[in-house]
Amino acid sequence: MEIAGIRSRTMTLGALTISVHPLVFVCLCSSLGMFISLGFWQLDRADEKRALAVAMQQRAVAEPVAWDTLQQIEQSPGNLTRVKLSGEYQNDISFLVAFQFFQGRAGYEVVTPVRQVDGGPLVLVSRGWLTASADIDRPEIPIVSGLQMLQAQLHVPEFDVPAGEVTDTDWPVRLPRMNVAQAERLLGEPVYPFVVRLEADQPGVLSRHWSVPRVETRGHLVYAIQWFGIALLVLIASLFYSSNLAQLIKD
């Protein structure tokens, strides 16, 4: 076979004869290198996910950090850093995040701003889930008065949450989803950029309906096997195409 003026070279290994064209060989090596590198990239991603899962577990059981040191901690999606803050619930300006389901029932996620005792921006504290009723326009949110010491987990969403339409003219305001920037505009004062979720047995906590973030590595392993498998298939197909291996097997 001749391509671009370059002839194939024949190699003989016993009864096996292989015809190798330099250009085809280069293309084959490039393809195999690409497929194999994609497979190892998926394995690296799986390792990164496992390291992330370990970090999440460590943060979830670590001692709560003081609120004023939170800025020094990496704020990445899946961050479960435990925090502690002191302040007062602003009971008259809560948010009701709609379309929240818990144990097969529809309801709201209750988010109440907390004014810190040392000042600073309001902190949006997610207190948990409250059932909805067809007979009541908006559920009655339990009031928690006075200075409270709270422990919660930082919640950093995996993607930007878009703002939703607001039709309420009084509090509590219903939102289709919690967009912190939109909440800040409705409150008319600075708000910390992320929501914190109350831990169990904390003042004002309701039903803790949030799912625990899970880090999956199975998909990366499956993709890695696929890429390595494609590389192997390409190698075998090339060998059959350029040699007399099929005839030897048939004979």
pTM (predicted TM-score): 0.66
pLDDT given for residue 60 in this prediction: 65
Answer yes or no: are the C-beta atoms of 176 and 164 closer than 8 Å. Answer: yes
Domain edges within the chain: 2-51+216-250, 81-198
One digit per residue, the tens of pLDDT, for the chain of length 251 reads 545 545 666 666 666 676 766 777 778 788 889 989 999 999 998 888 787 677 666 666 767 778 877 765 666 656 678 889 999 999 999 999 988 888 888 899 999 999 998 888 999 999 999 988 766 778 888 899 999 999 998 888 777 777 888 888 889 999 998 999 999 999 999 999 899 999 988 999 998 888 766 667 888 889 999 999 999 998 888 877 776 666 766 76
pLDDT given for residue 244 in this prediction: 66
pLDDT given for residue 2 in this prediction: 47
